[in-house]
Amino acid sequence: MKAIGALLIVAATGAQAQYVPSPVAPVWQPTERYVTAGQDEPGYRSWYMAAPWRAAAVARFNDYLKTYGVAGIVPTWQLLRTASYWHRCGADPFEIAPLTEWPNIVQTLRYVRDRVIPTIGPVEPVSAYRNPALNQCAGGASQSAHRFNQAIDLVPLRPISREALMRELCAVHRREGEPYGVGLGFYAYHRFHIDTRRFRNWGFGQAPEAEQCRREPTRPGPAAPPVSTPRPAAETAQATVGQPEATAPR
């Protein structure tokens, strides 16, 4: 009996030693490298509640997006994210662009809706408008499209490799980007830039997956919808919405 018990103990020990747990797939968290505490959703709620005028200003911006058919493509609050280095620059994590710059985001959102999301799935903005002082502090180009509320930095919300991301976005940019005047740029990991200033691309280096970005555009796709955004004269003259002049972007 003792011998049998010893054999059972050895067998059990061996079985434990041979047990290998199943690997756990990493959780896809595409924004963790770019969105810090304070620029997340709880941070947005704190920013929103910190000044009484912000509620009306955000509602007015959202209504503007609805008027031109580009609301709901991404959550409106995410379009208010400033630079990822906002905290290093002593800036606000969120900001509403001057009213005169609102038309510039319309065509960019249309391209995201019509071409980007159908290609790679849903996306999340991690940086949009940056006032000139913040843009300079964050290392943006002096004439960055972010300064004029014309650019959005995005990350994909569905798992995708960087290589596949570049390959897919370059292909659609080459095929469809020119009618929209799209600028496509790639940054570290999965962050990419879309604006509608003019047709160009950058940031793909020697990556073979971005070969499509190096070629001349093919036959242009459907023409981009025109941006028709007339504004009442009283609104055009107003630089910001509900924001005290002393804190207006410089």
pLDDT at residue 4 in the model? 55
The values of phi and psi at residue 17, to 5°, are: -65, -30
The values of phi and psi at residue 167, to 5°, are: -60, -45
User: What is residue 2's three-state secondary structure?
Assistant: helix
pLDDT at residue 30 in the model? 87
> In this structure, what token pair is assigned to residue 174?
């080459």
pLDDT at residue 234 in the model? 36
Helix (H) or strand (E) run with residue 118 in it: helix 117-120
The residues that bridge with 123 in the sheet, in sequence order, are 156
One-letter amino acid of 157: L
Task: Give the start-to-end residue ranges of the domains of the chain.
Answer: 39-247
Spatial separation of the C-alpha atoms in residues 54 and 44, rounded to whole Å: 11
Angle at 110 between CA 30 and CA 98, to 5 degrees: 85
CATH of 39-247, one of 3.40.50.1360, 1.20.58.2030, 3.30.1380.10, 3.40.50.300: 3.30.1380.10
User: How far is Cα of residue 58 from the mean position of the Cα atoms in its chain?
Assistant: 18
pLDDT values of the chain reduced to their tens digit, one per residue, 250 residues: 555 555 555 455 555 556 666 666 578 888 998 999 999 999 999 999 999 999 999 999 999 999 999 999 999 999 999 999 999 999 999 999 999 999 999 999 999 999 999 999 999 999 999 999 999 998 888 889 999 999 999 999 999 999 999 999 999 999 999 999 999 999 989 999 999 999 999 998 878 877 888 877 666 666 666 665 545 333 433 333 433 323 222 2
The residues that bridge with 25 in the sheet, in sequence order, are none
